Each structure stands twice: as structure tokens, then as C-alpha cells.
A and B are shown apart, each in its own frame.
Chain A
Amino acid sequence: MKKTSLVELSIRHPRWVLALAGVLTLLFLTQFPGIRTDTNPKHMLPETSDVRVWNDRVDRTFGLYEDTIVVGVENDAGVLNRETLGRIVRITDAILRLEGVAARDVSGFTTITNVSAEGGTLTVGPLMPAAPRQAAEVETLRRALFGNPLFVNRIVSADGKTSAVYVPLEKGANGAEIASRIRDIVAKEKGPERYYIAGDPVARDTFGAEMFKLMAIFSPIAGMIMFAAIQFMFRNLALSAAMMGVSMVAIIWSMGLLIGAGFPVHIMSSMAPVFLMAIATDSIHIFNEFYFRYQERGDRLAAIRETMAAVSRPVRYTALATAAGFAVLLFMNIVPVKVFGALIAFGTVVLRLLSFSFIPAVLTFVREDRLARAAASESVEADRTARILGRLGAFGAARPGPVVAAALVLLAIAVWGTSKINVNNNLVAWFKASSDIRVADTAMNRALGGTSLGYLVVQSEEADFMKRPEAVRWLQDLQRHLEGLPAVGKTFSVADYVKRINRVLHDDEAKHDVVPDTSEAIGQYLFLFSMSAKPSDLDNVVTPDYRAANLWIQLKTWDAAAMRQVIAAAADYQKASPLSVTVKPAGIAYFNLVWNDEVLGDMVRGFAIALFVVFAILALNFRSLKWAVVGYMPLLFTILLIYGVVGFAGKDFDMPLSVLSTLSLGMAVDFAIHFVGRFRQRLSETGGGLIEALQWTAARPGKGIVRNAVLFAAAFSVMLFAPLTPYVAVGAFIVAMMLLSALFTLLLLPALVMLGRRWLFQGG
């Protein structure tokens, strides 16, 4: 009743309603200049999260860096020639001068510490302090590189065609910006070399920045497509404008509130405009019904009143379902996800409020003559679309058995498909295979030990424990064990330094490439090493008290699963060869794993809650558990079918998909709410036959459903052309969801109603 009075108010004082909406919108707009953005996906986990605190501690203890860019130089003729080496020197030199680069710990030919023995003299110092001037010097370098296992697959590929420079970044430096400056540096070099710039910070920061850019491009495009589609459907500019106006107002209010409340616009909330625009399409049911009513009655105001009365309940409940679907995100742990949930829930409520005020107000301004012309064909009998939809519903109602059976077969196949789903997340895979970032990453991972870096921190209770031969050997054997994993390209630890020095002190004899037998020898070797090496060389792999060692693991993939395998393999190894140490994972690869698990876990929990909440809302709306079960079916079939396809297609169930799954529930159920609501209304009004009522519902509100689905899908179809794969996934997912749930609602629901009619209408 309250809503109808809002409608009454709006059609009596339309100007006031519009003016008020305008003023409020301006008010929210005033907040916009205070916008702050946060493009770092990593900030999904707060600084106080266990993994970030732990990783920070490990970084501090071992003098490590959160982020490292890997710059690759590839020459098909081999990099070990004076020209290429000269370029590497110039490039490294220029990189060292970049702001935000931790110059002291850049590792490449010119900076990495080499331990070697030439003519009985021990040399500890930079591998290649300057570019070689003679061919003989190049040969010396070749011997030094390939004679030292610490270098092969790290700074030079085994085939000698690729070299890498590892560029650690200072805290807070922007990976995408530094990467673009490195691109400028390498662009100055003319020659046959190819250059690759890879690493998590490049991918992450580029993704964050691209995401914002895409949203800025896609939101208006999606808006324009919707506008065009509405205009095509209703052929009335005022109505189309009203629809767009409603979504703009909702977007401005929501974003204004977000900014005003002091939250930064995070990558999640940057998607809000597109979502709100799509959700706004639910108002289409009002226009749809209005056109039918106007065509029947010819009286504008009466048509508005009747329309609002007829659609108010389904529109209210679909809004409730959508809002609730997003509001469950408030129960998540991840702050930007919570904010996003609250943002969309608020926006949805605003949209509904506007549906009952702004839209009726606008309808009063529409010129009757134009309306009459546009609505002329709008009747169940005259309209071709409505006729086809009616037949579709009638088909479902007439042959419920085969329709339901076919759906069940599809469902069974889909369930089989879902069993094939692979849960994984890979930040670099968020870029298309042809993108610079993917190409660089693939090339570097093929040639070298890997661009993704994880650590295993091996801790003991005792000081000097890591100088014991058994501890160093344990590390060495753990490394060999880990290197058995296909994803592990290269590992390195204090054991490698110890063995290297042992060998070098014994005239570079291969048989001395082993861990010595006493802790004195190990202590002295490491001391000797530390006499000339950079302080960070030793700090990176062992603590000053030798209580803890840090094992570096280079991974050839950014798959979260790779680090999971490393952790499992380390646990197996520890079980097989017990040593009184604890092993804890760290590093960016570990962060990505935890991040993946946290977001995914959150989303799966959210999905479960949303499933329940949506069912509860259906039950509340229909005041019947039985009808809720029936109304639930299109949603269930749609979701399972989509996941079946995901499983068969071999697409990883990753973070973007998990986020979508949760969001989709509140939106996919909308059509069933409209259908069941209007069907039961029709049934009680006419008291007539089931089949007639089903056919009518499929034809008339059904046209609204199809219009809604097409609009929604059209808005999101823009994303199919995005250069980032999560957007393509979002686009494909939403388009499929809208079309499938419309189809299931119009075809499967009538069949289910017919099959279950005895049960459904029992006692009534």
C-alpha cells in the first residue's frame, strides 16, 4: 500500500518528484571530486591479514622485496656476444637509475655476485662489472656463467639465448609505471634482441589500471547499447531516457555515497556502474506492462496506476532478491567485497525507489499521441514476439514430461561437467594470450627458471643450526625434491653458496661440489663469502643467527595451485626425512595462493548463503514453500548448466568466476519471481484454465522477461570484447545466465507447473 501511495504522489506531483531526484543527485555529485582510487588487487587482503603480516616479516628478516620485475633479453644467436652484452650493461645501468627500483639488489650480469677460482685465486665480486671488449673476455664470461649452477636458469638460459635481470621494487612503487619506463629504456636499443618485461607487479598493477580504464570505457558503451535497445523496443525517446536516467541516478547516488563515506574506489567497486545499469533493466517490466495496459485502456493515468499495482509485488521482490544476493557479501571477510556488496545493495534499493516514483512521474509526461502509436501493436494477440513466447509456454505446458526429461538429461550432463571444474587462479592468465604481459611471461618461463617467486622459510629453535652439515644437506635434498615438480624451475638456498665455495676452494673440482662435513667449515665458507659479497647475498638466504634459512623457489607459472604443490611436496619431504625444523611458505606466490583461497572461500560461503536467502525470499514472496521450490528451478538449472560448460571447457574456476557466482543468484531468480507472481495473479483473476494462464504469462509478462534478458545481456555483451579475460568471463557468464534463465523460466516453469499441479494446488 505504501508503494502505491508513492506512485500516487508521483503521478500527482511529477515535477516535484523529478526536481527532488535532481537535487539529491546533485548533492551526491558534490562528493565526486573527493574520489580516491585503489588499483592494487592485492589490497583485497588488508595489511593486517595474516599472510601480509607474515610476508612482511619474512621480507624484513631476509632483506627481501615484495615485488620483483623480471626483464628478459633474448637473442636467437645467443646473448653472449659483445653487442648484446653491451646492451645488457646499458639497460641494467639505466634501470639502476629508475626511481622506485631497489638498485642495490638488482640481479643481472653486471650486479650478481660471482664466486670463482682462476689460477688459484678466489674471486668474489660482480660477475660482469663492465661490457667485455674482447672475444676472450666473452669466453671467460661464458665459462663463469655455465660453470656456476647458481646462474644457469636464473640469469642465463641453458641455451644461452636468454638473459634476465631481476629488478626488485621498493615498497609502494608502481610496477606498471616502472615496467613502462623499462620499456622506454629497451626501446632505445637497436638490434636483433627481443625484450620481455614480466613479473607479478607488472601484471597486477597493469591489471588494476586497465580495469579502471575499461570500466570508464565500458560503462558508457553499455549505457549506449541499452539506450539503443530500449529505444528499439519501445520507440519512445522519453521512456528510453527515463530508463537511462534511473540508472544514472542510482549510479551517482551509490558512487557518491561510497566516495562520501571515504572508501577508495577499488577494482571491485569500479564494476558497480555496469552492474547497476544492468539491474536497472528490471524496470522494463513496468514499461512492458504499461504498454499492454495502455493499449487496452487508452487512459494514461489509469494505465500507470494499474501497471504499478500489477507489477509492484514482483518488482519489489526481484529487487529484494537482488539486493539480498549482494547484501550477503557483507558477511564476507574481504573488505572491498563487502563494500561492493553494500554498494550494489544500496543501488538496487535506490533503483526500486525510483521505479515507484521517478518512472511513474516520467510516464505522466509522455505525449499520448506518440504513446498510442508506439503501443499500438502491444497486445498478446497482435504482437509477434508475444505470440511466439505464448506458444513456447504452451509447449512446455502441453508436453511437460518430455520437456522436464530433456531438462533433466541436460542437468545430468551439466553435473558431470561440474565435476571436472578445476579451482585455480592465475593473475597473468587474466591477460589474453596475445598480450605483451602474457607473451613476456610465457617466453621467460620457457627459457628460465620462472617469473613467479615463492619462499620456504625453514626455522629452528637453535642458533647456528643452519651451519650444521645435516641441516644444509637437508635443505639441498629438499631443493632436489621440489625441483621434481614440473612447475618448479629453479631453487636456491644457502646450501648452494656453501657447495659453491667448497668447490671453488678446491680448485673448482666437481667432486667438491658437496656440503662439507663440519659446521666450522660451513661457518668459515660463509664468512669468506660474506667478506666480499653484497650484504644482501647472505641475508637473503639465512638469518644472522643462523636459526632460519630461506629457500627460494622460482615457479614457471602463476597458478595458485603451483605453490600449493610446493607446500605439499615440502610436507611430504619433511615426513620422509624428519628434522627439528618448521617449514613455512612465504613470498608473492604464497600470497597469491592465500589470496585465491580467501576470496574463493569467501565467495563459496557467500554462494551458499545466497542460495538459501534467495529461496527464503521466494518462499516469502509466494507465501508457499512448494511454489518457492518450483520458482527455484530455473535458477538452479541455469547455474548448473553454466558450471557444466565451465567444467567441460576446461576454464579454471577462478576468482572472477567465484565473485560472479555469488552475484548471479540474486539476478538469475528475477524472471521466476515475475513469472510465478504474475501467473498466480492471472489465475486468481480469471479463475480459468492452467494452460491458458501459463500461455498468457509466457506471452505478456514473458515479453517483459525477454526484453529484460536481452537488455541485460546486451549491456554485458560489451565485455566479451574486453582485452582482459575476467571481463570476457563476466560478459559471457551474464549473457548466458540471462538468456538461459529466461528460457528455463518460459519453457521449464510451465512444464513443472503442469507436472506438479496436483501437488501445487492441493487443498486450494
Chain B
Amino acid sequence: MRHWIALLAALLPLQVLALSGEEVMKKSQAAFLYAGKDFKARVLMKLINKDGQERLRELAMLRRNSGEAGGEQKFFMYFFQPADVKDMTFMTFKYPAKDDDRWLFVPALNMVKRIAAQDKRSSFVGSDFTYEDVSGRDLGDDSHVIEREDKVGARDCYVVKSTPKAGDADFGHKLTWVDKANFLPLKEEQYDRRGARYKLFTADEVADVKGFPTVTRRTMKNLQSGHRSEVTYVKSDYDLGIDDSLFTERFLRQPPRKWID
């Protein structure tokens, strides 16, 4: 009995020091979506239906952080595949707690069009990832609680349960397995409002790029429709000195070759 109390006493301060769900998710967001000052990768995306038929997307992605983690970000995408959308470019300015700004260049019409971003939960380029899955959901929209600790493979993880504060979200809650060491999300389960698991995110490969642990292969599977999307990052790189002036309409029409090799 005495031993138990001693043990409990020894544990207590640790409990106090331990991270809250909020903090875990914040660190996770920083590691997963805000690593480096800027980032570049060639993204291969396979959209695979239940029948095994694939749609292919290939694009160059550039990202630049304007400030701290959780702050404003700018994205630039140039499409290689499918072949008939080659030269299409897509630009997003992401603001915390505000709708994104999005622009698209349509080569067939030689036209830049502003696209409304009324729904962050809509599909990203037809994949099972939503815009939110790609660029992050506002942490303040959910309440986060560490449910338990678990392992994904050999990695120790926090399992964080995030529940939307507003009732009108299109999902009930999600569970995120956050790596205790590098704070990358290794697995995420999204539950619909009936409480049934309907989407499963897995980080299939994590690589070290310039000292930043980076998820280089990931899958999002819709468990109800059987549709899934596999994403691979090749040629990932950080801190390249991508200039803010790149993120303009001019470059949407004339993407700089230097960045989209």
C-alpha cells in the first residue's frame, strides 16, 4: 500500500507536466503542416475506386509560411497530370479562422478564375482528402482531449479525440494518433455523426528531410464507399527561399520553371 502511494506521488507531478490535448494537436499541426519556412514537393496522387480503377493526379506543390505555426500560409500548385490539365495552376492563401482565397488558371480559356472556398470540408481535387485534411483544420473549431496512449507500429502515440464545438460539422468526432517523439499524426479515424467510422488516414511512410520528419506517403480511405486516395511526395525539400512574389496571378499564368521541375 505504501508503495502504491509512493508511486502515485511520483507520478502526480508528471501528470501535471503532461501535455493537454490542445497542446498535442498544436504541436502536431506545426510538425505536420508548418515544418520549415517553405516546402516543395512533387505530389503523386492516386484516386482509387472500389472497383480498383484509378484516376491519377500529379502536381508540383510549393508552400510558404508567412509567420508562426498556425498562421497564414500560401500554396502554389502546378498540375502535370491528367495530361489535358497540364499547365493548370492553383493557388491558395490560407488564413487562420477565415475562409481561404483560391485562384485557378484555366489554360484552355487562358483565364484566371477566383474560386470560392465556402466549404473546407469539400474534396481536394476529387480525392478523399478534404481541403482541411490537406491544409489543416482550425484547432479552435474542436475541443481536444487525450483519450489514451497507444502504439502505431513501434511508435508511441497520444490518441487525441477531437470533437467539433459547433453542432453543424459534417463529422461527429475524430481520433488522431500523434507520434510522441515527432508529433506527426500517424493515423486518424474520422467518425460520422452516427458514430460510425467512415474515414481512415494513415501515414504510410515517414522520412527525414533536412532534419524535418516528413510524411512522404499517406492514404485516406473512405470506409463506407470503399474509395481511397494514395498520396506520395517525391523530391520533398525545405527552406529553399521561395519568394512571396511567386504567389501572384502573373506566376499562375507563367509558372516559374525553376520551382516546378
Interface residues of A (CB under 8 A from B): 60-61, 63, 96-99, 102-105, 118, 120-126, 129-130, 170, 464, 467, 505, 516, 518-525, 527-528, 530-536, 538-539, 543-545
Q: Give the segment of B17-25, B107-115, B236-244 that binds chain A.
A: B107-115
Nearest B-chain residue to A89, judged by Cβ: B168
Asked if A63 and B227 sit within 8 Å, CB to CB, the answer is yes
* B208 adjacent to chain A (CB < 8 Å): no
For B40-68 the 0/1 string (1 means CB < 8 A from A) is 00000001011101110000000000000
* Contact (A523, B84) CB under 8 Å given A121-B116, A122-B115, A528-B106: yes
Asked if B111 and A129 sit within 8 Å, CB to CB, the answer is no
Give the interface centre of A522, A535, A536 by most chain B CB atoms within 10 Å.
A535
Asked if A532 and B88 sit within 8 Å, CB to CB, the answer is no
Picked from B85, B115, B123, B225, the residue with its CB within 8 Å of the CB of A527 is B85
Asked if A544 and B116 sit within 8 Å, CB to CB, the answer is no
Report A470 CB to chain B, min CB distance, Å.
16
The distance in angstroms between the C-alpha atoms of A99 and B119, with both chains bound, is: 25
The distance in angstroms between the C-alpha atoms of A524 and B125, with both chains bound, is: 12
Write out the residue numbers on chain B whose beta carbons fall within 8 Å of the beta carbon of A520.
Answer: 84, 107-108
Write out the residue numbers on chain A whose beta carbons fall within 8 Å of the beta carbon of B118.
Answer: 123, 125, 129
Write out the residue numbers on chain A whose beta carbons fall within 8 Å of the beta carbon of B127.
Answer: 535
For this complex, 25 residue pairs linking A to B, each with C-beta atoms less than 8 Å apart, are A63-B50, A97-B194, A99-B194, A102-B224, A104-B198, A120-B114, A122-B116, A125-B122, A505-B106, A505-B111, A518-B108, A519-B84, A523-B82, A524-B84, A524-B109, A527-B84, A527-B126, A530-B123, A531-B104, A532-B119, A532-B122, A532-B123, A535-B227, A543-B53, A544-B54
* B189 adjacent to chain A (CB < 8 Å): no
Report A519 CB to chain B, min CB distance, Å.
7
Asked if A104 and B222 sit within 8 Å, CB to CB, the answer is yes
Write out the residue numbers on chain A whose beta carbons fall within 8 Å of the beta carbon of B106.
Answer: 505, 524-525, 528
Report B47 CB to chain A, min CB distance, Å.
7
* Contact (A538, B119) CB under 8 Å given A60-B50, A104-B222, A544-B53: no
* B192 adjacent to chain A (CB < 8 Å): yes
Asked if B224 and A531 sit within 8 Å, CB to CB, the answer is no
* Interface of B: prevailing SS: loop
The distance in angstroms between the C-alpha atoms of A60 and B49, with both chains bound, is: 8
Write out the residue numbers on chain B whose beta carbons fall within 8 Å of the beta carbon of A118.
Answer: 116
Chain B 92-124 interface residues, beta-carbon cutoff 8 Å to A: 104, 106-109, 111, 113-116, 118-119, 122-124
Asked if B51 and A523 sit within 8 Å, CB to CB, the answer is no
Picked from A99, A104, A126, A533, the residue with its CB within 8 Å of the CB of B126 is A533
Nearest A-chain residue to B167, judged by Cβ: A93
Write out the residue numbers on chain B whose beta carbons fall within 8 Å of the beta carbon of A528.
Answer: 88, 104, 106
Asked if B115 and A535 sit within 8 Å, CB to CB, the answer is no
Nearest A-chain residue to B83, judged by Cβ: A523
* Contact (A531, B125) CB under 8 Å given A104-B222, A126-B119, A524-B107: yes
The distance in angstroms between the C-alpha atoms of A97 and B225, with both chains bound, is: 16
Write out the residue numbers on chain A whose beta carbons fall within 8 Å of the beta carbon of B193.
Answer: 96-97
* Contact (A523, B49) CB under 8 Å given A121-B116, A122-B116: no
* B230 adjacent to chain A (CB < 8 Å): no
Write out the residue numbers on chain A whose beta carbons fall within 8 Å of the beta carbon of B158.
Answer: none
Nearest A-chain residue to B222, judged by Cβ: A104
The distance in angstroms between the C-alpha atoms of A21 and B114, with both chains bound, is: 84
The distance in angstroms between the C-alpha atoms of A130 and B168, with both chains bound, is: 8
Asked if A544 and B55 sit within 8 Å, CB to CB, the answer is yes
Asked if B122 and A124 sit within 8 Å, CB to CB, the answer is yes
Report A678 CB to chain B, min CB distance, Å.
67
Report A657 CB to chain B, min CB distance, Å.
40
* B188 adjacent to chain A (CB < 8 Å): no
Known: A104-B224, A464-B84. 12 other contacts (CB 8 A): A60-B49, A63-B225, A120-B113, A121-B116, A525-B106, A527-B84, A527-B85, A528-B104, A530-B123, A530-B126, A532-B119, A532-B122
A-B contact count (CB 8 A): 128
Asked if B55 and A124 sit within 8 Å, CB to CB, the answer is no
Asked if A530 and B115 sit within 8 Å, CB to CB, the answer is no
Asked if A60 and B227 sit within 8 Å, CB to CB, the answer is no
Write out the residue numbers on chain B whose beta carbons fall within 8 Å of the beta carbon of A545.
Answer: 53
Picked from B54, B84, B168, B225, the residue with its CB within 8 Å of the CB of A104 is B225
The distance in angstroms between the C-alpha atoms of A522 and B227, with both chains bound, is: 24
Report A108 CB to chain B, min CB distance, Å.
14
Asked if A516 and B108 sit within 8 Å, CB to CB, the answer is yes
Write out the residue numbers on chain B whose beta carbons fall within 8 Å of the beta carbon of A533.
Answer: 122-123, 126
Write out the residue numbers on chain B whose beta carbons fall within 8 Å of the beta carbon of A519.
Answer: 84
Write out the residue numbers on chain A whose beta carbons fall within 8 Å of the beta carbon of B227.
Answer: 63, 535, 539
The distance in angstroms between the C-alpha atoms of A63 and B48, with both chains bound, is: 12
Asked if A125 and B116 sit within 8 Å, CB to CB, the answer is yes
Nearest B-chain residue to A531, judged by Cβ: B125
The distance in angstroms between the C-alpha atoms of A539 and B225, with both chains bound, is: 12
Asked if B49 and A63 sit within 8 Å, CB to CB, the answer is yes
For the complex of A and B, the 9 pairs showing the least CB-CB separation, nearest first, are A523-B84, A530-B126, A521-B108, A123-B116, A544-B55, A125-B119, A527-B85, A121-B114, A60-B51
* B38 adjacent to chain A (CB < 8 Å): no
Write out the residue numbers on chain A whose beta carbons fall within 8 Å of the beta carbon of B125.
Answer: 527, 530-531
Write out the residue numbers on chain A whose beta carbons fall within 8 Å of the beta carbon of B111.
Answer: 505
Write out the residue numbers on chain B whose beta carbons fall within 8 Å of the beta carbon of A534.
Answer: 122-123
Write out the residue numbers on chain A whose beta carbons fall within 8 Å of the beta carbon of B179.
Answer: none
Write out the residue numbers on chain B whose beta carbons fall within 8 Å of the beta carbon of A521.
Answer: 108-109
* B201 adjacent to chain A (CB < 8 Å): no
The distance in angstroms between the C-alpha atoms of A120 and B112, with both chains bound, is: 10
Report A364 CB to chain B, min CB distance, Å.
67
The distance in angstroms between the C-alpha atoms of A97 and B49, with both chains bound, is: 24
Report B14 CB to chain A, min CB distance, Å.
41
Report A635 CB to chain B, min CB distance, Å.
53
The distance in angstroms between the C-alpha atoms of A104 and B121, with both chains bound, is: 12
Write out the residue numbers on chain B whose beta carbons fall within 8 Å of the beta carbon of A525.
Answer: 106, 108
* Contact (A527, B88) CB under 8 Å given A63-B49, A533-B122, A544-B47: yes
Nearest A-chain residue to B126, judged by Cβ: A530
Write out the residue numbers on chain A whose beta carbons fall within 8 Å of the beta carbon of B108.
Answer: 516, 518, 520-521, 524-525
Write out the residue numbers on chain A whose beta carbons fall within 8 Å of the beta carbon of B123.
Answer: 530-535
Asked if A124 and B115 sit within 8 Å, CB to CB, the answer is yes
The distance in angstroms between the C-alpha atoms of A397 and B123, with both chains bound, is: 85
Asked if B84 and A121 sit within 8 Å, CB to CB, the answer is no
Nearest A-chain residue to B128, judged by Cβ: A535
Asked if A524 and B115 sit within 8 Å, CB to CB, the answer is no
Report A231 CB to chain B, min CB distance, Å.
57
The distance in angstroms between the C-alpha atoms of A718 and B7, with both chains bound, is: 80
Nearest B-chain residue to A98, judged by Cβ: B194
The distance in angstroms between the C-alpha atoms of A535 and B47, with both chains bound, is: 9
* B247 adjacent to chain A (CB < 8 Å): no
The distance in angstroms between the C-alpha atoms of A534 and B128, with both chains bound, is: 9
Asked if A61 and B115 sit within 8 Å, CB to CB, the answer is no
Nearest A-chain residue to B115, judged by Cβ: A122
Write out the residue numbers on chain B whose beta carbons fall within 8 Å of the beta carbon of A63.
Answer: 49-50, 225, 227
* B90 adjacent to chain A (CB < 8 Å): yes
For B201-242 the 0/1 string (1 means CB < 8 A from A) is 000000000000000000000101101000000000000000
Nearest A-chain residue to B105, judged by Cβ: A524
The distance in angstroms between the C-alpha atoms of A545 and B48, with both chains bound, is: 12
The distance in angstroms between the C-alpha atoms of A104 and B222, with both chains bound, is: 10
* Contact (A61, B194) CB under 8 Å given A123-B118, A535-B47: no
Picked from A60, A98, A523, the residue with its CB within 8 Å of the CB of B85 is A523
Report B126 CB to chain A, min CB distance, Å.
4
Report B230 CB to chain A, min CB distance, Å.
14
Write out the residue numbers on chain A whose beta carbons fall within 8 Å of the beta carbon of B222.
Answer: 104
Write out the residue numbers on chain B whose beta carbons fall within 8 Å of the beta carbon of A120.
Answer: 113-114
Write out the residue numbers on chain B whose beta carbons fall within 8 Å of the beta carbon of A122.
Answer: 104, 113-116
Nearest B-chain residue to A543, judged by Cβ: B53
Report B102 CB to chain A, min CB distance, Å.
9
The distance in angstroms between the C-alpha atoms of A81 and B209, with both chains bound, is: 55
The distance in angstroms between the C-alpha atoms of A121 and B118, with both chains bound, is: 11
Write out the residue numbers on chain A whose beta carbons fall within 8 Å of the beta carbon of B126.
Answer: 527, 530-531, 533, 535, 538
Asked if A524 and B85 sit within 8 Å, CB to CB, the answer is yes
Report A121 CB to chain B, min CB distance, Å.
5
